């Protein structure tokens, strides 16, 4: 899946939302429904986007048990919470997911909206079967920014392992086109800072505890064999 397909099927951007396609309510993890559609005139119904692969596709890195819990329970809970806030009038139902993230102050609405976005992005950063590597051109960009591809991975891992508590590690593009490794706590998201996310790794314990127990460094080490570089590069 490239960035455009991600936007269209996740409802993360405005294209999918403006089109108002798809059904209401949470969709099956194996379905093809988009994350968000319109109810009546202006109210957005956010949906759980299906995984872009089967639940067994990331094993042995991440097992089906992990994905069923992480996607089917954790990711889904953020979607359910966000829709509840809209129903209760606590969140603006006329805003797209991106708009909610940008407009909401720190608190439950922002946390759940951003976690819907972050998880959808994370699933798309991974690739069924693993064994992928970046294109020569992108590897050169990473080497230019971070010294070498191996140094990039090492610096990303250091940042991810060093993120205290729950959060995310990111490769982002800044306004000036430069690449940067950042981390965010809890639900925070680089789009709030005007940065363009290219790659993320979920370092909440729920992302790896089933398969790696407390070994976050091992989870990070294994992560690189499963990155969807086509998606990452398309985000540039």
Least distance (Å) from Fe ion to the CB of residue 133?
A: 25
Least distance (Å) from Fe ion to the CB of residue 119?
A: 6
Is the CA virtual torsion 141, 58, 122, 154 positive or negative? negative
Size of the site for Fe ion (CB under 5 A): 3
Residue number of the CB atom closest to Fe ion: 202
192 DSSP assignment: G
Nearer to Fe ion, 156 or 204 (CB): 204
Place of tokens 């540039």: 236
Nearer to Fe ion, 110 or 204 (CB): 204
Nearer to Fe ion, 38 or 66 (CB): 66
Q: Is 211 in the site for Fe ion (CB under 5 A)?
A: no
Q: Which of 191, 21, 176 is nearest to 100 (CA)?
A: 191
Least distance (Å) from Fe ion to the CB of residue 74?
A: 5
* Chain mean position to CA 85: 21
Q: Is 202 in the site for Fe ion (CB under 5 A)?
A: yes
Least distance (Å) from Fe ion to the CB of residue 145?
A: 27
* Chain mean position to CA 175: 20
Nearer to Fe ion, 12 or 207 (CB): 207
Q: Is 204 in the site for Fe ion (CB under 5 A)?
A: yes
Q: Please give the full DSSP string across 81-149, using - where no structure is assigned.
A: HHHHHHHTTSS-TTS-HHHHHHHPPTTHHHHHHHHHHHHHHHHHTB-TT------HHHHHHHHHHHSSH
How far apart, in whole angstroms, are the C-alpha atoms of residue 160 and residue 27?
A: 31
Give the binding range for Fe ion (CB under 5 A) out of 102-110, 124-132, 188-196, 200-208: 200-208
Could you list the residues that contact Fe ion (CB under 5 A)? 202, 204, 207
């Amino acid at each position: 899946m490239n960035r455009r397909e991600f936007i269209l099927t996740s409802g993360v951007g405005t294209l999918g939302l403006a089109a108002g396609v798809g059904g209401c309510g949470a969709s099956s993890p194996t379905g093809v429904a988009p994350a968000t559609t319109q109810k009546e005139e202006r109210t957005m119904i956010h949906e759980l986007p299906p995984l872009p692969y089967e639940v067994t596709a990331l094993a042995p890195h991440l097992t089906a048990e992990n994905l069923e819990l992480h996607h089917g329970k954790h990711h889904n809970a953020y979607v359910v919470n966000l829709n509840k806030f809209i129903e209760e009038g606590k969140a603006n139902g006329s805003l797209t997911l991106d708009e909610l993230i940008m407009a909401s102050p720190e608190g439950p609405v922002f946390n759940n909206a951003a976690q819907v976005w972050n998880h959808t992005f994370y699933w798309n950063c991974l690739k069924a079967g693993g064994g992928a590597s970046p294109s020569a051109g992108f590897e050169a960009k990473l080497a230019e920014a971070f010294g070498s591809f191996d140094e990039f991975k090492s610096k990303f891992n250091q940042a991810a392992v060093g993120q205290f508590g729950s959060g995310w590690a990111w490769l982002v593009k800044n306004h000036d086109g430069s690449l940067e490794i950042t981390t965010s706590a809890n639900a925070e998201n680089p789009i709030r800072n005007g940065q363009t996310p290219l790659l993320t790794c979920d370092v909440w314990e729920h992302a790896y505890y089933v398969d790696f127990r407390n070994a976050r460094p091992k989870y990070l080490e294994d992560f690189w064999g499963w990155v969807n570089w086509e998606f990452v590069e398309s985000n540039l």
